[in-house]
Every structure is written in C-alpha cells, then in structure tokens.
Amino acid sequence: MEMLLSTKGITICLFFFVLSLAAAIEIPLSVAQLPTITEQSHTQVAYPFDEDFTIKCEARGNPQPTFNWTKDGKPFDLLSDPRIVASNNSGTFVIQNRGIITNFQGKYRCYASNVLGTAMSEEIELIVPSVPKFPKEKIEPLDVEHGDSVILHCNPPKGIPPLHIYWMNIDLQHIPQDERVSMSLKGDLYFANVEENDSRSDYCCFAAFPRLRTIVQKMPMTLKVSRFKHANDSGSPNAAVTKANFIKERKPKLLIPPESAGSSSSVTVIKGGVLLLECIAEGLPTPHLSWVKVTGNLPKDEPETENFGKILKIEQVTAADEGTYQCTASNPMGRAKHEFHVHVEEPPRWIKEPEGGVYSVGTNLVLLCEAIGNPEPTIQWKLNGMPIDSRTFRGRISAREISLTNLQLHDSAVYQCEASNKHGTILASANVNVLNIAPLILTSDGENYATVVGYSAFLHCEIFASPAADIRWTKDDSIEPLSALRYELNKNGTLEIKETKKEDSGSYACWAANSVGKRAITANLDIRDATKLVVTPKNPRVLKSHSILLKCQSEYDSHLKHSFKLSWKKDGDELPVKSTEDGRIILDRDTLFISSVTLEDQGVYTCVASTSLDSVTAESQLIVLDVPDPPEDLQLSENQNRSVRLSWKAGASHNSPVNESIIEFEENRWEPGRWQELTRAPGNDTTALLSLAPYVNYQFRVVSVNAVGRSQPSKPSLRYATPPAAPDKNPENIRVEASEPNEMVMKWEPLKPVEGNGPGLEYKVSWRQQGVEADWNEEMVKKHSLTLRNTPTFVPYEIKVQAVNNLGSGPEPNVTIGYSGEDIPDAAPSGVSVDVVNSTLVKVFWFGIPRDRVRGHLRGYKVSWWKTKNMLDGKRHHPEKHFLTFVGDRNYGMIPGLEPFSEFHLSVLAYNAKGDGPESSPVVFETPEGVPEQPRFLRILNFDKDSVTLSWGLPKKANGHLTGYVLQYQIINETHEIGPLNDVRVTNRSTLSWRLSGLSPSTKYKFYVKACTVKGCGKPVTEEGLTMAQGTYAGIYDGISTQGWFIGLMCAIALLTLLLLTICFVRRNKGGKYSVKEKEDLHPDPEAQSIKDEIFGEYSDSDEKPLKGSLQSINGDIKATESADSLVDYGEGEHGMFNEDGSFIGAYSGSKEKGSVESTGSSTATFPLHA
C-alpha cells in the first residue's frame, strides 16, 4: 500500500514529530513491561433508579495483569456477594441494584499486578444515598405580636447535593421575600419583624434533590400575628399598630451569625471555589445590610451580593480574596456588626510528578515528587502499591525524591507518590521498566511514500530499543548514510527530505542497531509534479448588476487525477457546489459565474485544488463598482446674506473615487418641489461656499458622481432664507416684434423668479425716437411687453428696460434700437427687362424701389410670369401664374423651366415682413423653338428574316416646327457587347412609319426613333425585336397567312404570350433576376450620354456614365446652352421648386433624362421576339 505524505510548513512537521515521539515512549505490547492503569472510575453515586453500577479498572502490561481490590483500605473479594459481576482479564465489576446496597458504600482501590510489579488506581468513592424524607412531626403554631422577629426552621433531610429549598404555600405559590423576609443558606425562613399580613397556616418548606429526582415537603407551619395586647381599645386599629410599633422599635440584632459566635468568626474556603458569607438581622424598622473588606487586598471587582444584600458571594476564589470582611446591619435605631476572617486553602496539586520510562541495565534512576497545597500536603512513596520500607529498600528515599544506581532487570517496578492534606489526596505513578532487548522496528517493511516537488517527504522508521539504538538511512544501493543538508533525521527515526526534487525518487533503507542486535526496513519514495493553479481574470473590477465569470485553470500530476478536487471559497468560507440564490451564483467545477453582481458579492474568491499529496490555492479579488452612496449629515455654517457654507459627509464610493459633487437647491416660494443645480464641488471635497440670491428660501441636497454614475440625492438640508435686495440685473433680449402700422410692441425676456431679489418686481420701460432731442418716455409694467400706439411707420426708437422691486432698482440698463410697426411697400420696381437665354431660361432685370418706399425691412423681390400664347398653333392660353422669390436687395434673377416657342408676360414686386407691394407693369417676351420631346410610342409591325417595319407616334410636345425624324438601329445580345449604330433620316415630317431592310436573320436588334426641329433632335423612343430564322416561315406565310384558322391560332398564341409577359412583368417588379436598371446598363441609349437638358445647361445633375461600346449622338451639333449665371440667380418657386439659396428642387431638379426602357415607357416587342 502506498503511503501519501506531504506538508507545507513547520506546523505539520512538528505534528509528526510529536506523534512519533509519543509512540516511541510507549512500549510495544510484545515487550515484557509493568502494568499501567489505562482507565478507572472516579466518585460515583448509586442512584436508586439505576439498575446497576459499574466500577471500572482497566490496565495493560506484559504479562497480562491480574486484578484485586481493597475497600476502605481492606481487601475486597469480588466473589463475596452474588450481586457483583466481575469481568475476565479486567478489574471492572458491576454491582446489581437488588436489595439493600448500602453496605457497598465506601472507598475502593484497584491493583493490577504481574511478575514485574503492581499498578494502583486512585481511590474510587461509591456513595449509596438514602431516600431523603422529612420526619413526621406535629408542629405547634407560632403566636407572636406585631413587630416581633420570627424564624421558621426547615431542617431539610440529608441527600446528594445540590439541594434546592423553596418556601411555598399549600397552593404552591412562593412566599414573597424581601429585606424583611428572607431565607438563609440552610433553608430557614427569617422575619426581621412580622406584620399582620404574615399570618397564615400553610408555610411549607420544600427540599429538592435534582440528582435523586426527588422533592420532599415538610409539614405546614402556622404563624399568627396579633396586635399589641395593651393597646387602647378605644383607639383606632391604626393607632394601636402605630403605638405597638413605637414600643417594639429596636436596633438590629444579628441572627446569622448568632450573637453566641461573638463579634467575629473564621471561614475557610477552597481555592477556586465559591465563598458565601451570610448575615441576617432582626430589628424594627427592618435593618439594611452592607459589606466591606476590612483587611487584605481589595477585590478587583465589586463583590456580588444576593438575597437582598444578606449574602456576599465571591466565585473562583483566589489567595487575594483572603482577609477580613465585615457585614453591618443598620436601621435608625442603631447598627450591629460581624467580622469574617476568611482563609483560602487548597487541596494538593502537583509541582513535579514522577516520570517513569524505559531504562537500560546499568543506568541510574531518579524520581522526583513535589506537591503544594494548604495545609501543606504530606508525601508518601509506595512500591508496587505497598509503602516502601526504607530499611530494606536498596536505593535512597526522601519526601521528594527516590534514586537508584546501577539498575538491573529485577529493579523494574511501579512507583507511586501520594500527596494528601485534609482537602484531598492525589496519586501519581511512574513505571520503571529496566529492559535489555535488540531494536524493534515498529514501522512496516516496504512502505510506499509519495509527495510532490518542493514539499517535504517523511519516511518513517519507528523504533523501540533498550539500550537506545543508532539509526541511519541509506538510498538505493549506497551504503553511505544520507547526510546532505536537505536530509534531517528526527529523534523518532523519521527521515525528513526537505524541498524534494524529482531525483529524490527511489528506494531507501532504515538501519537500527544497539549492543543487543540490529534490524532494517526499506521504504520506496515517488516524487510527483506539484499542482498549479491560476484564476482568471485576476482581480476584476465589475459594475454592479453586470456579470462575471471566474475560471480556475489547473495543472496536476496524472497519477493524482483520481484524487484531484476543486472547490471555491469566498473570504475563506466554502461556497456550495450547487447553484445559490436562485441560480444567480453558479459554481461548475472550475468556473464560477455570478450574474447581476451585488455589492455583497465583493470579496476574495479562492480556488482550492487538492490532491492526496498537496493542496494549493489561487485568489482573485472581485471589486464591485457602483455609484456612490448618497452623502449624509448636511450642515450649514458661515451664514451670510448672499452666501452660506454647506458641508456633508461623503457616502461610500464603492471602489470608484468621487469625481465631483453636484449641489442642488429647491426653493418653496416660486417653484416648490423643483430641484435645480446650483454649483459643483471637485473631487473628494465635502464642503462648498455657496453663492446665493436674495429673497429665496433655500434647501440644499448633494449628489456624488463617480466614473460609474450619479448617486441618489442626499436628504435635504435645513432651510436657509436670504433677505431681499434690489435687483442685480435687468431683462435681456429686448426686441420690437412685428406689429400693426403706427404701433410698436416692445418685448423682453423676464427675470426668473429667483432673480427678482425681492417682492414687488416690475419693469421700468423708457423710450424715445432716435435722432430727436426729446425726454425719455417711461412706464412701469409688471408683464414682459409694452405696446405703443400712434407711432410713425417704421421709425427707429431708443429703448431701455430696467428691473425694479420694493427695495430699489437694478443697474442702469443698456440702450436697444428698435423700429416701430411696418407697412407694405407702396412702390413697384421699375425698368423691368427680359434677356432670353435659351428656349426654357430667361434673365430678368429691374430697378429696386427707394428705401423710404419699402416702409419696413426689405425682404426681397418676387417675379411673376404666365404663358399667354403657343407660337406653334397661335392658340391663346388661360393665364396660369408662376412666381419665384429672390431674397435680399438685388436687381436681377433667372427664370428657368419655361416652355419653348411660347409667349409670356412677366412682372416684379418688392415685399417686406408685412406683405407684398404693388406689381410692376407686365413685360411681354417670347421663347425660341426647342428640341421636341420623344415620340409617344414605337411599334414593330412586321418582322421578316432580313427586314422590319417600324411605326411611331408624334412627339408629346413638338416645341417648334418639326423637320423630320431620325431612325437608328444596332445589333444587341445578352452581354455588354453591342454592334455599330446605323442611321436613317426621314425628312418628311408627316411620315410615321418606315421599313428597314438588309437585316441579319435570327438576330436581336434595338431600334431608336427621335423627332427633330431646326434646333435639333429630341430624346429617342426605343424598342427591341428578333428577326426570323432563314426560310422558317417564308413559304408557309405566303400560303396560310390568309387562312382563318391561322389567324385564330396566331391570336391564341398572342394572348398566351401576353399572359406570360404579364406574369414575367409582375415577377420582375417583385425583384426578379434581371432588373430594369440592369437592362439599361446592358443596352444603353447612345443619345443618353451626350444630349443634356437645354433648359438647365451645366446645372443638370444627370448621373449617366458611358458604357463600353456606347456611341456618340448622331446629332452632335446640338449642345446644351451654357449659362454664365450662378445658382443664386434662380429664385424660390411657388411649389417648392427652388430653395432660398437658388438650388433646384422638385420638378426641375428631377428632370434628368436616361435612355432606358423605363424612361420611354415602351415595352419589348412581343410575338416577333419569341417566334
């Protein structure tokens, strides 16, 4: 079997040393030795309710001891009474509780003997108590007068202590006790003086013996108290009692101790026991008892008194309690005293006990025995339980010492030393074993030991030998004793290897030899790897209510895996393996998870890894961060009219230092219940001088702030009211707001309530016209506005507003310039002219109106225009006005978005905040021709293998006289590659169809058609189609195209194709595989990259990018008109078309063109594509 040993320090090492040393002293039972008492009874009570009583005496020795007994110093035969049951090979016997067993009471002693000597036990007292009873007696009634002293005697029977005495009536109600009536230590009931209400016939004394489970009762006693016999019968009863009391009044007289004991007495108490001194006195009035120590050292603590001061009690008596104590009983009539001379004695106790042991032949023996006590104990030596006769004893003997020289085997014996005084006897035994034997190795041979690297290893070799043996250890095959500093041989033979290494593994041998012989054993040692631990994260800081996961990573020797265990502790206390607190803390072997961390979770978490050889720990301190606790104990000091000092005690910071403290105030006059920030104190400051406003009833609170957040507010401080004062400031943001002509409305920001500084807050408003020498006009108002009427239109005024309250005025106010009410302008701009830029854009010029005709702040100009005639057909149009706003004082503007080839009227007006002025006279202008819009549709009518017929519609708007059309076509496929673009010009503007020939069979084409004027061509409409395969349908077409069934079939196919296309269109709109945008990018409109919007010129925001293979427009001579005007030349449109800064929005900004199918509204050709 492998013995696993390890230690981490000196404490464990010493523990092994002490155990081994104790084992070395004990003689193995295989060696001849003297008897030794191993177990015995002590004082025993034979309770009547027990079935039997056991008297124990056990001993060990070699040969096996025999036992005999003495009772009261005389031999006691265990076979003398059949009720005694003895045990084999033991001194223990049992007395059966049958019949009268009082004859077994006495003091017993056990003797254990073998051929080498005799061991003796201490005395064993057996007490056989009798059943306590009160004697049957007739107790005569006591007839006494009022004021006499009385003693009711209990005289309890004898029994096993403790004894408890109670005085009760027949209904088992306790007799009340006080200074006048009390019970003595012996159980008698003392009356210092009696009263009439003491009369009763059922004074009963009860004696309780708890160990005997017995309570006995004395016969009831009768006490009759009568009034004074010679009292005047004519007087009242109270008068008689008073007279009797006057006659009976007397000074105190001590009843305990009785007067017969004299003025003093001696008391002996055992050291360590309880001292009870008792004084009971009689007298009228009732005496009062007091205690004092007359001589000797005063006790450290005031002595305890009981029984209404009649008993002085001192527990755990020491020698310092010796001395003279005096009790004094006193009343107004006098006093009585008694002195107690207290002597402290003690039973014997050992100073030096004789110590036996194992001795080798020829050595010397000295046994010492010394005891103290009071009185001084006597010492008696015994040999094998018998007194030593100094005449025949070969050694030297004295009261305190026995000595022998040149011990021989026959000197083996048991020596007893007995110390006695009147308070008791103590016994000490010393076994002197004289032996001459070869070493006995008590440790088993071939033991296996193991420890871990760095720990100490202990290899045991417990030896018993006489004479003492020499011990040495060797390793493996070496015969040299181990002698390095790391090796230490303990007295008990154990080899300690300190700070073990891997190379310490191996086989060791322990050799023991003395003059009689020698012995040896072997031991095997294995060195394992030490267990290692680390806890991560190390010392984490976690916000309250967040979670933390601690992980314990470990390494240990593979040989120790079966004994490896992990556990967790918090602040030294074991954490349960199962989840705690409803799953908030989850412990799973090497992990510890805490959710919703609380402040109570903070602490040191220790991971403990243990194996059969070592135990290691790793710690991580969890620091929980939280907002601070609220500050406490707010105090106000340094009270001034405009300031006060606020001090507070900071709350716990919860591991995050306080960065600042926010001081808030609440006042109950203007906004009760609303807390506002007043100031902030930096860092850990806990005091601040607060600047206050007058006429405010403040209370304050403090909020602490750390990196986690804000604390809860503190409890409010006491209120602090500041006296009123004149205002410190005047209103701000003085202004004149829009009003009616000939009227001026002056407004300002009123002072906050706490800025008023006192009652009766008003505003003194002063005004006068600027540039006019005149006195200030003044008016007091309570609100924060003032309206003046009958003022000139739009005239500047100087304005002042000053705060005033009942205690005075604020500082001198600043002057603010404001204007009286505006009116609409009364003049129209002049010199209006129009410069045509292109077919959709013109530039307007005008002369602004004079400043005095604006009658307010000029906001800008508005340009209105409306179309009156289409120049193409000459038709007149119903006027539909449009306008643009040009902000600020300016004299020109750009008008975009006009229809080409049209006649327009245009006028200009000025406006201010009040409204629009009159319009100028209309100016007529015409826009030139422009390029047409795209044709309304493009259809493919007939497909053949090499030709196709196209049909298109007129453009939506011609924007001039049409000059013809341009047809374009090119080969396309499903890739980014496209074929060259072919052009066909149609010069007859009336032609709306065209047949293209020379096409390739079974080829997909894209066709473009656009309308043209003298200004150029517009955007094209597009369509795609697939030519027919070579010879597929040519012959058939000629023969069957006119047949009815063929026409029906074609119609059915067309309907089916239309249905399929509809489904495809729906799916494409829902996000099918190919989007319209992808198709546009794949087959771009060649014109879309070059033709810009003529209207907007360089301001167009078209985002078209050219694709690979895209071509320039065939109409490259048509270019967008470039405008030299900046964007600010464009005004604000009526439908939100332009922003204030002149940028285009709405319909105009969205007019970029893309050459895509989606933009033209056309669809892919149907039947020819899928033929």
- DSSP structure class, residue 104: G
- Model confidence at 250, pLDDT cuts 50, 70, 90, reads very high
What does the mean pLDDT of the chain come to? 83
pLDDT at 1150 over 90: no
pLDDT at residue 978 in the model: 81
The tens digit of pLDDT for each residue in 615-640 reads 999 999 999 999 999 999 999 999 99
State both tokens at 467: 């004479």
- Model confidence at 1091, pLDDT cuts 50, 70, 90, reads very low
State both tokens at 1038: 């000629």
What mean pLDDT do residues 124-141 have?
A: 88
Higher pLDDT, 1072 or 313: 313
Higher pLDDT, 735 or 1046: 735
Higher pLDDT, 843 or 260: 843
pLDDT at residue 709 in the model: 93
Q: Which range, of 87-101, 136-150, 1055-1069, averages the lowest pLDDT?
A: 1055-1069
- Model confidence at 25, pLDDT cuts 50, 70, 90, reads low
- Model confidence at 138, pLDDT cuts 50, 70, 90, reads confident
The tens digit of pLDDT for each residue in 670-687 reads 889 999 999 999 988 999
Place of tokens 């190919």: 1074
Q: Is the dihedral of CA 1079, 1082, 1083, 1084 positive or negative?
A: positive
pLDDT at residue 1078 in the model: 37
Higher pLDDT, 751 or 1092: 751
Q: What percent of the chain has pLDDT over 90?
A: 59
| Cα 226–Cα 228–Cα 230 angle in degrees, nearest 5 | 135
Residue pair 960/929 in contact by the 8 Å Cβ criterion: yes
- CA-CA distance, 1093 to 698, in Å (whole number)? 71
- Model confidence at 229, pLDDT cuts 50, 70, 90, reads low
Residue pair 684/650 in contact by the 8 Å Cβ criterion: yes
pLDDT at 1161 over 60: no
pLDDT at residue 1044 in the model: 62
pLDDT at residue 999 in the model: 87
Q: Which range, of 68-72, 148-152, 242-246, 455-459, averages the lowest pLDDT?
A: 242-246
- DSSP codes joined into one string, 678-691: EEEEETT--EEEEE
pLDDT at residue 433 in the model: 92
What mean pLDDT do residues 454-482 have?
A: 90
- CA-CA distance, 1069 to 580, in Å (whole number)? 59
Say whether 1146 sits in a helix, a strand or coil.
helix
pLDDT at 1025 over 90: no
pLDDT at residue 1030 in the model: 61
- DSSP structure class, residue 411: G
Helix (H) or strand (E) holding 25: helix 10-25
The tens digit of pLDDT for each residue in 533-553 reads 999 999 999 999 999 999 999
Q: How far is CA 990 from CA 65, 465, 982, 1160, in A?
A: 152, 144, 22, 22
pLDDT at residue 284 in the model: 94
The tens digit of pLDDT for each residue in 54-67 reads 999 999 999 999 99
pLDDT at residue 945 in the model: 80
Q: Which range, of 237-251, 362-376, 415-429, averages the lowest pLDDT?
A: 237-251
Q: What percent of the chain has pLDDT over 70?
A: 84
pLDDT at residue 100 in the model: 85
Higher pLDDT, 332 or 1097: 332
The tens digit of pLDDT for each residue in 264-292 reads 999 999 999 999 999 999 999 999 999 99
pLDDT at residue 46 in the model: 85
pLDDT at residue 1048 in the model: 76
pLDDT at 1152 over 90: no
pTM above 0.75, yes or no: no
pLDDT at 949 over 60: yes
pLDDT at 302 over 70: no
Q: b/e per residue, 566-587, with b = 16+ CB within 10 A?
A: bbbbbeeeeeeeeeeeeeebeb
pLDDT at 1022 over 50: yes
Higher pLDDT, 1162 or 49: 49
Q: Which range, of 277-281, 348-352, 1062-1066, averages the lowest pLDDT?
A: 1062-1066
Residue pair 844/804 in contact by the 8 Å Cβ criterion: no
Which distant-in-sequence residues (6+ apart) come within 8 Å of 996 by Cβ? 947, 948, 949, 950, 967, 969, 984, 1007
- CA-CA distance, 1136 to 1134, in Å (whole number)? 6
pLDDT at residue 1045 in the model: 61
Reduced DSSP (H G I as helix, E B as strand, rest coil) percent helix, strand, coil of the chain, to 5: 10, 45, 45
What mean pLDDT do residues 888-910 have?
A: 93
The neighbour count for residue 468, using CB atoms within 10 Å, is 15
Going by C-alpha positions, the residue among 1142, 1094, 1131 that lies closest to residue 895 is 1131
Going by C-alpha positions, the residue among 21, 11, 9 that lies closest to residue 460 is 21
The tens digit of pLDDT for each residue in 66-81 reads 999 999 999 999 988 8
pLDDT at residue 228 in the model: 66
Burial of 281 (0-12, 13-18, 19+ CB in 10 A): buried
Higher pLDDT, 691 or 1135: 691
Q: Which range, of 124-128, 177-181, 884-888, 998-1002, averages the lowest pLDDT?
A: 998-1002
pLDDT at residue 1071 in the model: 44
> Helices in 1028-1113 by DSSP H: which ranges?
1034-1040, 1044-1069, 1076-1082
